A = this chain, B = another copy of it.
Amino acid sequence: MSRRKSRFLRKPVEPFVVEPNGSANDVLTKMERVSFQGRNLAIARRIWERMLASDATIFLGIAGALSAGGMRLVIAHLIDQRYIDCLVSTGANLYHDLHETRGRRHFMATPGVDDAALAAERIDRVYDTLASEDEFCKNDEWIASFALKLERRAYTTRECLYKLGEHLWKETEHHGILTAAYRANIPVFCPAIADSSIGMGLSQARHRDAAAGQIDTIGDIIESANIVIRRPSTASIVLGGGTPKNFINQASVQAEFYDDRVSGHRFAIQIVTDVPHFGGASGSSLEEAQSWGKLSIESEKVTVQADVTVALPLLATALDSTARELASKRKRPDFDASGRQLVVNGQPLPEHRYQEA
């Protein structure tokens, strides 16, 4: 029996002590010394702070029904405060954001509600959340009308979504994800736009005019990799997995192909409910991402296995309590996302080409 403490037994778990009227920041700070996913969530805030203290461009990926589920103004806040620099989203999150920015709502339901009754009333259900299908159809038409105002050429999703945010802001002056991104002039990518109601709206523009609704998602691949090539370092924050998770990682892999100074994201946070052992990308581990060069071997990283609607309100509130100054002083990239070519720190990225070293 050893008399000296093992090197493995250095840092004790500190039991969480409940204090009434404690702040979210206090709660998350104390969670740094507990175990399991509570600890991981608390570590996520500290890694996020280190991202902000570094020179990294911070990508945020969002998947799952976060906008319908009440998280859209949290995402907008992360953009406003520049806790992130570039958004990669599923189409649904942007669509449900647009729905609310246009003054419509999602509604609370209970899981046991009868879907036949909902179908009869043309109400669409997302687990415990409802929306009017008629309002959705009007959104689709509104998107089609927007698309018919664009030039008859292919747009990257980044350029198209900038225009969409601009149009929304001018029409509504309401706060939301798309309008916040427009006003902050940061790029928003939507690699699977064809798999969403935004894509459906664009297709309805096409139905009216065969030359409308052209989207160049291959251009998005090049542009996102060029962001990585251009910047000294990058960071990845993933909420929910899905196509945004892979797209952010792919940007790093593709960038490395053209510029071998790139060697993976330097920081990574993911909050997911999927698990690694079925082999799917959403649940894949950050360690696995290192084998691909998606993350650097030295990256600081944490996976939090939790529903975003449980984890993000606490995380964002605690971050906002401690990181405002970090965010205001950070070396962040300066984007102009309004044109055909994305401009980074005053220099346009090449169009249709990877920037080579």
Q: Is B284 within 8 A of A278, CB to CB?
A: no
Q: Is B20 within 8 A of A307, CB to CB?
A: no
- In-complex Cβ contact of A313 among B34, B132, B306 (8 A): B34
Residues in chain B near residue A305, CB distance under 8 A: 275, 277-278, 307
Q: Is B69 within 8 A of A38, CB to CB?
A: yes
- What's the minimum C-beta distance from A322 to chain B, rounded to whole angstroms? 8
A17, A122, A197: most-surrounded residue (chain B CB, <10 A): A17
Question: What does the 1/0 interface line of A116-128 toward B look like (CB < 8 Å)?
Answer: 1111011111111
- Give the bracket for the number of chain A residues in contact with chain B: 35 or more
Answer yes or no: A206 CB below 8 A from chain B CBs: yes
Within 8 A of B (CB), among A206-261: 206-207, 210, 213-222, 225, 240, 242-243, 246-247, 250, 253-254, 257
Question: What does the 1/0 interface line of A130-149 toward B look like (CB < 8 Å)?
Answer: 11111001001000000000
Answer yes or no: A309 CB below 8 A from chain B CBs: yes
Q: Is A203 within 8 A of B218, CB to CB?
A: yes
CA distance A14 to B69 in the complex (A): 9
Answer yes or no: A102 CB below 8 A from chain B CBs: no
CB-CB under 8 A for A309 and B38, given A11-B107, A292-B124: yes
CB-CB under 8 A for A35 and B219, given A15-B71, A134-B1, A273-B278: no
CA distance A108 to B36 in the complex (A): 10
- What's the minimum C-beta distance from A6 to chain B, rounded to whole angstroms? 5
Q: Is B191 within 8 A of A218, CB to CB?
A: no
- What's the minimum C-beta distance from A328 to chain B, rounded to whole angstroms? 13
Answer yes or no: A334 CB below 8 A from chain B CBs: no
Interfacial residues, chain A to chain B (CB-CB below 8 A): 1-2, 6, 8-27, 30-31, 33-39, 41, 63-65, 68-74, 77, 92, 100, 105-109, 111-113, 115-119, 121-134, 137, 140, 154, 191-197, 199-200, 202-203, 206-207, 210, 213-222, 225, 240, 242-243, 246-247, 250, 253-254, 257, 273-282, 284, 287-288, 290-293, 297, 304-314, 316-317, 320-321, 324, 351-354
A-B pairs, 6 with minimum CB distance: A38-B309, A34-B70, A194-B217, A35-B69, A210-B352, A192-B192
17 A-B pairs (CB sep. < 8 Å): A12-B106, A16-B74, A19-B317, A31-B309, A34-B309, A35-B108, A36-B129, A69-B279, A112-B287, A115-B288, A127-B278, A191-B199, A194-B221, A196-B246, A199-B221, A214-B216, A278-B309
